[in-house]
Each structure stands twice: as C-alpha cells, then as structure tokens.
Amino acid sequence: MNRRQFLAGLGTGLVGMATAPALLAEGQCSRPMTYPNGYSLRQCSVGIPSHLMRFVAARQQNSQWCWAACIQMVFRVYGYDLPQEQLVAQTWGRLVNMPAYPGQIMQALNRSYIDRSGRRFRASGDVLSVNVNTAIADLSNRSPLIVGALGHATVLTGLSYTESNIGERQVSSAIVRDPWPGKPSRRTLSPEEWANINFAARVRCFSA
C-alpha cells in the first residue's frame, strides 16, 4: 500500500471515528470477536506514552508556524532540541510568519542540524512509504509522524484500529499533539480532519 492508498484509505474510518470506543492502553489489542464464517476482528491501539510526549510537546510561536512546532516536537523525541526560529530561518531565509508547503517541510526533514546543545544530527523524512501499517509500526517504536489536514500540521502519536484475522486494518481514531495554543495539546483528530489529511511524513534522526 503506497502513500496515495494510505491517504485515500483514511476516509474508510470515518464512521468508526464517530463511534469508536475509547482507546485501549497504548500497544494493546482486545480479544477477537469471531463470526460464524470464521472471520474475526479485534480492536487495537498503539501510541507513544502520554507521559513521554508531555516532555516534548511544543506550542507554535507564531500563527503560521504549526509546521515548525511539529518538526521541533519530533526532533525532541529523538533528543534534539531546535528552536522554531532556526527552522523558519533556514526554510525562508529570514524570520517570517509564513506557512510551509509540503516540499519545504520535506526539505527541512532531510538536512543536517546543530541543536541547542551543539550536537550535530541528520534528519531523514519520507512520504513515499507512509501507510497504515508503517504508521502503526512507527508508533510501536515510539516514532511519531507529522500529518497535515485543513491547512494545519499536527504530530501523530497514537492510533486506534480494527484488525482482522486476514490482516486487514482500518483506523478508527487518531491521537495527535496539536501545537495551536488555543487547543488542547493532546486531542483526537475530528472526522473532517481525518478525511482531509493531505500530507503525512515519517521522520528519523541520526547522530552525525
């Protein structure tokens, strides 16, 4: 399943998102429900523990800097703290209150940096391999993703989904860290947001 299929498949979970039960504990699955024909389903959840994300959560420092705040949060997960101002200046050439297009975000996710502590690291971002299965695998390994919907970027930290005995997975809800100051830091994406995700990136950071 490629990124196009992943993004197209997000809409299949809309009904489930509206009626999904509360997330199970991170990284758990319920007992499967088996039907007479042998088909079975179980409800699963996966995510980065909230007590860890609280330490790396960030608020955007300007009205258009959601993308920079999300990159800052993801870098912090890997132990590297970078000011939002640095990300903006490197993207736009100066400090401006501007959004970033997907191509610019990917450029920011594929370059070398020096963090506040003077440590060198390299970021590696990827949109081509994003799908439901890789997102679940990344979250299982405590690697968040950056997602964009309706002109706003957030950090994907948890998923609730159904899983069948033949390997089918359908997402029912998504937990994000939202950098917008007027919203709760940890929240669930709305069905409208989920249906309109147009950007999703996997991110890794490596010591340089």
What digits encode the pLDDT tens for the residues 4-56? Answer: 445 544 444 433 343 333 344 456 888 888 888 888 999 999 999 999 999 99
Superfamily of domain 41-207: Cysteine proteinases (3.90.70.10)
CA dist 208 and 205 (Å) reads: 9
The pTM score is 0.86
Phi, psi of 164 (to 5 degrees): -95, 170
Q: Measured between alpha carbons, how far apart are the two ends of the chain, in Å? A: 32
pLDDT-based confidence at 2, cuts 50/70/90? very low
**Average confidence (pLDDT) over 182-204:** 95
* Whole-number pLDDT of residue 15: 34
With beta carbons less than 8 A apart as the criterion, state whether 43 and 159 touch.
Answer: no
Task: Output the pLDDT for position 7.
Answer: 56
Over 50: is that where the pLDDT of 201 sits? yes
DSSP 8-state class, residue 131: S
Query: What does the mean pLDDT of the chain come to?
Result: 89
Average pLDDT over residues 51-78: 97
More confident residue, 84 or 34: 84
What is the dihedral sign for C-alpha 124, 127, 129, 131?
A: positive
R_g of the chain, CA atoms, integer Å: 17
How confident is the model over 122-139, as a mean pLDDT? 96
Greater pLDDT, 59 or 24? 59
